[in-house]
């Protein structure tokens, strides 16, 4: 089962640590659900979800602020008795002294963020959702081409990086070269580069290139959702390649089917230009227009028209 550790969450979202439990390194978060403990603060624990991250916003803070120190201590003592992963204060709200005292007593982690409550909750949900999403790694190059996420695949040495470099020169953006980390997020595939190799590209004969430094920040992107897979392969004289496009091919990654085109390579073919056309054509199909179907319908109408004319003679 996928999870994110509390330490990871603290580091990646830059949360302020007010008090850290001694077992914080072992705390694992399996669910993106967030709980605002307004009812538990009032003493109602029947539907309390202690396994979730707990967030204190303005409403909860003002409720506690209106309590006497004794009543606040009693309410929080019952709350901290449950094994919560962490309690997070939003809006840089002041931390009550009773909170720190009881956090030490029950060994609970207390965090704080400057973000407004709704934005903090959205950040937590999105971050945890992405961290625990099903994932895989694919050998290929991921780019954004005309707003379409294009994953270029093929055997080693077929020319994936060289094609990607030509596309960069044409104004498109690189997400990852060689290794693409893919996660399934809400039914879509989101690809990104490993942090270690982000924005770098290998070109045989030249070596490693820093694309951000060579072409500027506009030539790179941190992540992209995959809309099209383009497989490059060496031309095979014995293979029949699709020349019409009526039979749409797909490839399945993490249970999600993605449209796929296969481009045979031979001298004289402008592969980068073909990838651009494939991306444009994919966008047209997503908008409801399929050129192959349109031509097929036109041909069928012409055949029907001629058959009708022939039958009338």
What domain range is 217 assigned to?
135-295
CATH of the domain at 280: 3.40.50.300
Query: Is 160 among the catalytic positions?
Result: yes
From 160, 173, 190, 221, active-site residue:
160
pLDDT one digit per residue (tens) for the chain, 313 residues: 588 999 999 999 999 999 999 998 899 999 899 999 999 988 899 989 999 999 999 999 999 999 999 999 999 999 999 999 999 999 999 999 999 999 999 999 999 999 999 999 999 999 999 889 999 999 999 999 999 999 999 998 899 999 999 999 999 999 999 999 999 988 899 999 999 999 999 998 899 999 999 999 999 999 999 999 999 998 887 777 777 776 788 999 999 999 999 999 888 789 999 999 999 999 998 888 888 788 878 888 888 888 887 777 6
- 3-class secondary-structure state, position 310: helix
Convert the pLDDT of each residue in 253-293 to its tens digit.
999 999 999 999 888 789 999 999 999 999 998 888 888 78
CATH code for the domain in which residue 96 is found: 3.40.1390.20
Concerning whether 227 is annotated as a catalytic residue, the answer is no
Q: Are residues 126 and 197 in the same domain?
A: no
Q: Report CA-CA distances (Å) from 27 to 7, 9, 21, 24.
A: 8, 11, 10, 5
Q: Could you say which of 243, 257, 308, 309 is catalytic?
A: 243
One domain for residues 128 and 158:
no
Regarding whether 155 and 278 lie in a shared domain, the answer is: yes
Encode 43-70: b = buried (16+ Cβ within 10 Å), e = exposed.
eeeeebebebbbbbbeebbeebeebeee
Same-domain pairing of 263 and 148:
yes
What SS3 class is residue 101? Answer: helix
Q: Is 193 part of any domain? A: yes
What's the CA gap between 108 and 54, in Å, rounded? Answer: 11
**Catalytic site residue 178?**
yes
Angle (CA) 221-222-226 rounded to 5° is 80
d(CA 292, CA 275): 17
Within-domain flag for 147: yes
Angle between helices 58-66 and 69-80 (to 10 degrees): 130
Confirm whether 312 is domain-assigned: no
What total of structural domains would you count in the chain? 2
Question: Is residue 117 a part of any domain in this protein?
Answer: yes
Domain's final residue, options 114, 132, 150: 132
Residue 84 phi/psi, 5° resolution? -75, 145
77, 91, 178, 260: the active-site residue: 178
Whether residues 125 and 141 share a domain: the answer is no
* Alpha carbon distance, N-terminus to C-terminus of the chain: 72
Residues 205 and 88 in one domain: no
According to DSSP, the residues that pair with 202 across neighbouring strands are 208
Other beta carbons within 10 Å of 237: 6
Active-site residue, 127 included: no
Which member of 28, 62, 119, 139 is catalytic?
139
Give the chain's length. 313
Q: What are phi and psi for residue 257, nearest 5 degrees?
A: -90, 130
Per-residue pLDDT of 160-176, as tens digits, reads 999 999 999 999 999 99
Task: Mark residue 186 as left, alpha or beta (left: phi above 0; alpha: psi -120 to 50; beta: remaining).
Answer: left
- 313 domain-assigned: no
Of the candidates 88, 85, 69, the one whose C-alpha atom is nearest the C-alpha of residue 77 is: 69
Rounded CA gap, 166 and 14, in Å?
38
Q: Are strands 87-89 and 53-56 parallel, antiparallel or unpaired?
A: parallel
How far is 282 from 290, CA to CA, in rounded Å?
A: 9
């Amino acid at each position: 089962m996928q999870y994110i550790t509390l330490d990871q969450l603290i580091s990646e979202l830059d949360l302020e640590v007010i008090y850290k439990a001694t077992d914080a390194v072992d705390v694992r978060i399996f669910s993106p659900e967030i709980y605002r403990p307004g009812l538990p603060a009032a003493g109602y624990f029947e539907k309390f979800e202690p396994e979730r991250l707990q967030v204190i916003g303005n409403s909860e803070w003002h409720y506690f602020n209106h309590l006497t120190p004794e009543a606040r201590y009693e309410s929080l003592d019952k709350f901290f008795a449950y094994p919560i992963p962490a309690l997070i204060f939003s809006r840089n709200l002041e931390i009550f002294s009773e909170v720190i005292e009881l956090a030490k007593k029950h060994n609970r982690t207390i965090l704080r963020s400057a973000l407004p409550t709704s934005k903090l909750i959205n950040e937590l949900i999105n971050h945890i959702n992405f961290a625990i999403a099903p994932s895989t790694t694919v050998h290929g190059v991921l780019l954004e081409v005309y707003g379409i996420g294009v994953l270029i695949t093929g055997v080693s040495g077929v020319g994936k990086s060289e094609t990607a470099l030509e596309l960069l020169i044409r104004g498109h953006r690189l997400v990852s070269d060689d290794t693409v980390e893919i996660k399934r997020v809400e039914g879509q595939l989101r690809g990104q580069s490993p942090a270690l190799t982000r924005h770098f590209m290998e070109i045989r004969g030249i070596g490693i290139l820093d694309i951000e430094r060579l072409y500027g920040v506009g030539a790179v992107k941190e992540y992209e959702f995959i809309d099209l897979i383009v497989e490059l392969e060496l031309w095979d004289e014995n293979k029949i390649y699709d020349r019409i496009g009526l039979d749409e091919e797909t490839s399945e990654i993490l249970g999600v089917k993605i449209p796929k085109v296969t481009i045979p390579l031979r001298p004289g073919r402008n592969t980068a230009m073909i990838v651009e056309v494939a991306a444009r054509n994919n966008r047209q199909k997503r908008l409801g227009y399929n050129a192959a179907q349109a031509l097929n319908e036109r041909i069928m109408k012409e055949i029907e028209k001629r058959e009708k004319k022939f039958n009338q003679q």
